[in-house]
Amino acid sequence: MIKVKTLVAGLMLSALPLQAQTPIYLDDNQPIESRVEDALSRMTVEEKVALTHAQSKFCSPGVARLGIPEFWMTDGPHGIRPEVLWDEWEQAGWTNDSCVAYPALTCLAATWSPEMSYLYGKSIGEEARYRNKTVILGPGVNIYRTPLNGRNFEYMGEDPYLASRMVVPYVQGVQENGVAACVKHYALNNHEANRHTTNVIVDDRALYEIYLPAFKAAVQEGKTWTIMGSYNQYKGQHGCHNQYLLNDILKGEWGFDGAVVSDWGGTHDTNQAITNGLDMEFGSWTDGLSNGASNAYDNYYLAMPYLQRIQSGQVGTAELDDKARRILRLAFRTNMNRNRPYGSMRSPEHYAAARKIGEEGIVLLQNNNQVLPIITTNQPRIAVIGENAVKMMTVGGGSSSLKVQREVSPLDGIRQRAAGQAEVLYARGYVGDASGEYNGVVTGQNLNDIRSAEELLAEAVQLASGVDYVIFVGGLNKSKHQDCEDSDRTGLELPYNQDAVISALARANKNLIVVNVSGNAVAMPWVKEVPAIVQAWFLGSEAGNSLASVLFGDVNPSGKLPFTFPARLVDVPAHQLGEYPGTPDEYGIYQQNYNEGIFVGYRWTDKQKKVKPLFPFGHGLSYTTFAYGKPKADSKTMSPYGQLTITVPIKNTGSREGQEVVQLYISDKKSSLPRPVKELKAFNKVSLQPGEEKEITFTIDKESLCFFDDARHEWVAEPGQFEAIVAASAGDVRGVVPFALD
């Protein structure tokens, strides 16, 4: 037998038979677990340790000696972040790293469409793949507990079932491109104030019923390849190295086989990082040039301190091997998968996807006197008023800030749509934040205005009094203490005196349309003065086009709210029952009690007989009307091992095509533990032509009836009487079907 020497990825192998020289880990045809074990057996302890921590701001090393590539992370979840310097947050100065910005995840959740979620994930995954990224740091599925959370715009609302159904196709769409989704922030990261020094105190029932289901669905159904830990503490341990969350639940109960990634700067202790479930450490200091070392990455908690503990015998290598296995598994699923597609960037298909998702997510909150859609038959004059009509919203807001190829403003979108059919005029109305820069990305807009608030208002009112329609585009922005990472809002009201502007415009023109751009609920003291209100979210690159399509009726609005709009902040249980954002103890740790337990969002609202929300969860109007027939069940009883089928006819009784989200809630009429009045357990978004009728079918099983008994630490479905509630929103019940569980 002839023996030869073979060079594989820089490694000179010893003279062995050719068949034995080919490492299994390089063979795509081998099972991943075989490849993982083969690669692991060839690695030194130093190489394994190196895998577990960063070597730059967004990169961690592979194993060059074995031909295992580096791992490149990118912020999402709404677009691919521009390239930054190796050690710093500032821009690297590339000219080809702009992207398509997709609508924020509150908008995606408002579509109530798993199909839109898959399209979103597939599209953003293609952009990440084209830029050769390994991991997208998103999507976020933290529960909307308070409307003051500056980061709510990055999440999928208040209901765990809705978030669960929407996160799974997003993850699947991303990972079809050979790019890992990194579902975040696990767990209980429900506000931004004092996020590094908050310890969440919550009972196990609320943890399992409210705050974990979307993460569990992402792991067990979406098969996400990575999970990001959270900044906050739980049970006195930070989320990025938390025994209960990461080892006991995520890797133990759920069987997660992927890698746990720290949030940037979320690692605080070497011993806990070793033992409590963290696999990859990032961002532990501002840059790699400080902290008293030529390479500060060597000082990361999972770098030299970890290696020294192994070399001194303080710790063994069992945890290290587990971390390395998970990271190698990530490599073989992503950057060592030769069959992954090549991706694409800024394609017409991506812009079309961004526009369609935005159109389906926009929510028509109110439409008195049928002011909308805008009719252009008589060549109307339209006044567009408000800073958010022109301000770029893709720059700012924290780590989701983007550098876009283009962003269509609401004003430009309205003007383009109305060209030749209507005259469109503009007035500022108010000055909010004239700045336009974040981490070196500059909008190039000059929004400075030295006029007084009185002068701006007078100009807007004068313009409004002489036109056929007024479109006020306001709301929040991506500035600090608004919809922005690392800070929370200071109140529920609109900033910059917008309430006074809106009321003045309402007096000046009866055809006022208020477009609220935000990722959060806002107070609306003028709600009875304004005929039409549209919730427009942060819509990304195609913002103006998506909005104009809805305002002019080219698209029939079909979005539904993924969270409750409270009338007052005190109506929110996190504020009514607790001290938000917590009380600091003697060590400066804010102890945040989730005193409301499972009663978050509409679960709390349903309990309040005298307090009504401004707009309920699941609410959203259309330009057509829908009639619900009487729902029926295929049986009056359900066995614990069977299913129950609920059917309800729905008909489009209007004059144009439309989509309706039919929602199914379950009510447990008597239980051993307190339960909500009703809980969302199914939904179906159906498209109907005028006069068309369809029968919607829902199938429920024992899981739909369960609650988590924290004393027994198990899910329980108690025999007894239940109701299946068919609704158009949490506040608009259309039919009830009683049944019993044997």
Residue 239 pLDDT exceeds 80:
yes
Query: What counts of helices (H) and strands (E) characterise the chain?
Result: 18, 32
Mean of pLDDT over the chain: 95
Q: What's the CA gap between 495 and 505, in Å, rounded?
A: 17
Q: Per-residue confidence at 134, pLDDT binned at 50, 70, 90?
A: very high
Average the pLDDT over 93-114 and give the result.
Answer: 98
Q: What is the pLDDT of residue 286?
A: 55
Closest CA to 285 of 298, 276, 304: 298
> What does DSSP say about strands 198-201 and 180-186: parallel, antiparallel, or unpaired?
unpaired
Q: Is the separation of the CB atoms in 524 and 503 below 8 Å?
A: no
DSSP state of 250: I
> What does DSSP say about strands 233-234 and 237-238: parallel, antiparallel, or unpaired?
antiparallel
Residue 232 pLDDT exceeds 60:
yes
Q: Per-residue confidence at 191, pLDDT binned at 50, 70, 90?
A: very high
Give the residues across from 576 on adjacent strands. none
Q: What is the pLDDT of residue 290?
A: 54
The domain limits of the chain are 35-333, 360-571, 624-741
Give the residues across from 682 on adjacent strands. 664
Please pick, among 75, 87, 159, 263, the residue that the annotation labels catalytic: 263
Q: What's the CA gap between 76 and 154, in Å, rounded?
A: 9
Tell me how far CA of residue 178 lies from CA of 17, 96, 126, 217, 338, in angstroms. Answer: 33, 22, 9, 20, 9
pLDDT digits 0-9 by tens, 417-437: 999 999 999 999 999 999 999
Closest CA to 730 of 616, 630, 571: 616
Average the pLDDT over 27-44 and give the result.
Answer: 97
Please check whether the domain covering 35-333 is classified as CATH 3.20.20.300. Answer: yes
Residue 228 pLDDT exceeds 80:
yes
Domain 360-571: CATH superfamily, name plus number: Glycoside hydrolase family 3 C-terminal domain (3.40.50.1700)
Q: Helix, strand, coil: what percent of the chain each, to 5?
A: 30, 20, 50
Q: What is the pLDDT of residue 583?
A: 84
Q: Is the separation of the CB atoms in 306 and 281 below 8 Å?
A: no
263 among known catalytic residues: yes
Q: What's the CA gap between 629 and 296, in Å, rounded?
A: 66
pLDDT digits 0-9 by tens, 709-723: 999 999 999 999 999
Looking at residue 736, its amino acid is: V
Average the pLDDT over 293-307 and give the result.
Answer: 88
pTM, entire model: 0.96
Fold assignment, 624-741:
Immunoglobulin-like (2.60.40)
Percent of the chain, pLDDT > 70? 96
Q: What is the pLDDT of residue 287?
A: 55
Residue 296 pLDDT exceeds 90:
no
pLDDT digits 0-9 by tens, 4-19: 333 333 333 333 343 4
Q: What is the pLDDT of residue 582?
A: 84
Tokens of 215: 């993460």
Q: Is the separation of the CB atoms in 57 and 368 below 8 Å?
A: no
- In the block, tokens 């710093």 appear at 88
Asked, colleague to colleague, whether 35-333 and 624-741 share their fold, the answer is no
Average the pLDDT over 155-173 and give the result.
Answer: 98
Residue 441 pLDDT exceeds 90:
yes
DSSP state of 565: B
Q: What is the pLDDT of residue 2?
A: 37
Q: What is the pLDDT of residue 256?
A: 98
Percent of the chain, pLDDT > 90? 94
